[in-house]
Chains A and B, each alone.
Chain A
Amino acid sequence: MTKDDIEKLVRGELARIAPDIDPDAIDRDGDLREECDIDSLDFLNLVTALGKALSMPMPEADYPAMRSLNGLVAYLSRGSAASAG
């Protein structure tokens, strides 16, 4: 998957949880929960859904790396490249 595919996937899952949020209007380096007004449970659901879509394990120890939109996309890109390679 390319980074663009991953970006699209993240936006799709985010729209499922917080459809009122425009991903272009948020600070991509800010805490996603703050930026998208989602709670810890929503965040957990988001990460779980993305892990499922990409068949990635998404261990909680890595959550700090996924806290921002940029961080999340980068993490998923690394992971999907690793599993593809």
Chain B
Amino acid sequence: MSDTTLRKEPAAARAANMPDYREAVAEFSWQAERDALAGLSDGGLNIAHEALDARIAAGLGDVPALRWFGRDGTEIIFTYAALSREANRFANVLASLGVRPGDTVYSLLGRVPGLYFAALGTLKSGAVFCPMFSAFGPEPVQARMEIGSARVLVTSAALYRRKVRGIRGRLPDLAHVLLVDGEEEGCTALAPLMAAAGDTFRTAPTRPEDPALLHFTSGTTGRPKGALHVHEAVVAHRATARLALDLRPGDLYWCTADPGWVTGTSYGIIAPLVIGVTMIVDEAEFDPDRWYDMLAREEVTVWYTAPTAIRMLMRAGAELIGKRRFPKLRFMASVGEPLNPEAVLWGQEVFGMPFHDNWWQTETGGIMIANYASMDVKPGSMGKPLPGIEAGIVAVTEAGVKELTKPQAIGELALRPGWPSMMRAYLHEAARYQKCFRDGWYLSGDLAMRDSDGYYWFVGRGDDVIKSAGHLIGPFEVESALIEHDAVAEVGVIGIPDETAGEIVKAYVALNKGYEPNEELERELLGHARKRLGPAVAPKAIVFRQNLPKTRSGKIMRRLLKARELGLPEGDISTLESDEK
């Protein structure tokens, strides 16, 4: 824990959307937030209607909604009216294909305009939208499309060839593959369909509890979990972005997260549009020089990014900024994994303001704990619960859940269920879903503590899930891909600390008879894993062992691998039956 507290100037606090945290907590009501939305005329609620039609009705039709920058620097501006027309066209395309409310439309795309049309058009049509990260390999893509019974996939010709063509036969529900560019056998070009479609669409009469978004996350065991969110989530998207990101109309806002992850959808598509800001989307990958240029040249006012990116900027050195200045920048926030105190303070040094770390999960749908524009920052802390959110530190035992109220007590971070963007299901996994809720708490799986001032501090994961570059990676998914290789007898996958990415994925492999551990095989396994899993999930390091530590039932003890890797105490090893060699 750091001793430095960064104090906020009273004038700056007064200028924030939430000038006083305590007052806001006392006054907050979800009903008032719900009432602040336009809603549909029949009492329904639809995310895309709030993001587009309601903004146009409020007079923002000619305001830029999306300023898109292509990899080569080309800019295309879509006003709220133009974005709405494109979303309407896409919704009409879905209707012409027979897609019905409740069907699932997937995307596998880089950050291209078509992704935004597809997301908003799908929501308008009443279908469920599931964005996938384009750096996933075929296996994660297949698992996610199987679980959600993908009916339509929107992708590009190149991504289709590399990641979908080979698994297409295993996706019987997938009726249509729409390509935003190029041509491939068995696929339909989207552009002609869009051109022929009408640019008006009557928003589907969705109810607040109708499913809207599907986001996948990873657990320690088993397949990825499809967290289902409903249209009512928009109430929380809007409220939390106003409070925790200080977003307001007139802002030029840059969320660097890819919509393939929940941040890039909740705060990279929905919240900014519902609030009525102009958002920037950059197609290009991370590049320090380009990022500083974007911040300075476009005069970004609110910037939401991730610890890995911040640490890569720190590595690049502040000299790189040169003559660029950021006088319009008002608020910077970070999410993905805990932001180390040095990075928070680096923000203060370089930009004249700290990065405001916040905490939430795919399951929570929106920011739950945050540092605010008006609240002093304790670097390294995730801040305090959002108004409307009740958090606690709890101990989970067989007897039940007990809240630990003593300051500094370490326990599981838990939330009182009932906020609008809470997941409503893990698709087809009722038992796993039920396990998240106990004795009136949602259990996050993260270990944390609360100090005597009410600030929360992340301590670690309560399970074996790996957090790399802000993304959760399930060790089982990685192990399953490696074990398919003929050489691999057993495999255990853990996350090891990395100063830039937080953690990186490392695989411990024991080989079958007849295989020799050598560099050639290591590369072959790495290539095997990359081809199946893609770069976002594949291990960055593979080591060989003769035997892996296992329990009597043959379960590989990842915890022990990790303790040894980090030189930590091995803890209770009474269940260890067969040790590492």
Contact = CB atoms under 8 A, between A and B. Distances in A.
Does chain A bind chain B? yes
A19 B523 contact: yes
Contact of A61 (B285, B320, B501, B527): B320
A19 B501 contact: no
Interface string B262-302: 00000000000000000000000111111000000000000
A5 interface: no
Contact of B523 (A15, A33, A34): A15
B205 to A, nearest CB: 41
Contacts of A38: 535
Nearest to B523: A19
B289 A41 contact: no
Interface in A15-37: 15-16, 18-20, 31, 33-34, 37
B287 A64 contact: yes
Contacts of B524: 19
A18 B524 CA distance: 10
Interface string B189-208: 00000000000000000000
A60 B320 contact: yes
Contacts of B526: 19-20
B164 to A, nearest CB: 14
Contacts of B540: 41-42, 45
A44 B535 contact: no
A20 B288 contact: no
B289 A44 contact: no
B523 A16 contact: yes
Interface string B300-324: 0000000010001001110010000
B176 interface: no
Interface string A46-61: 0000000000000011
A63 B527 contact: no
B135 interface: yes
Contact of B315 (A16, A19, A60): A60
Contacts of A41: 308, 469, 500-501, 504, 540
Contact of B135 (A39, A60, A64): A39
A61 B536 CA distance: 25
B199 to A, nearest CB: 32
A39 B536 contact: yes
Nearest to A18: B530
B534 A37 contact: yes
B71 interface: yes
A40 interface: yes
Contacts of A45: 540
Contacts of B288: 60, 63
A60 B316 contact: yes
A1 B354 CA distance: 45
A20 B530 contact: yes
Interface in B522-544: 523-524, 526-528, 530-531, 534-536, 540
A74 B562 CA distance: 41
A41 B523 CA distance: 18
Interface string B152-164: 0000000000100
A26 B88 CA distance: 38
A33 B285 contact: yes
A63 B523 CA distance: 26
A15 B524 CA distance: 10
A34 B534 CA distance: 12
Nearest to B290: A64
B534 A31 contact: no
Contact of A20 (B286, B287, B527): B527
Which 3 residue pairs are nearest across A and B when measured between Cβ atoms? A20-B527, A60-B316, A19-B527
Given A31-B71, A40-B285, 6 more contacts: A19-B527, A31-B285, A41-B501, A41-B504, A60-B320, A64-B290
6 contacts: A20-B527, A37-B530, A39-B285, A40-B286, A41-B501, A44-B312
Interface of B: 71, 135, 162, 285-290, 308, 312, 315-317, 320, 469, 500-501, 504, 523-524, 526-528, 530-531, 534-536, 540
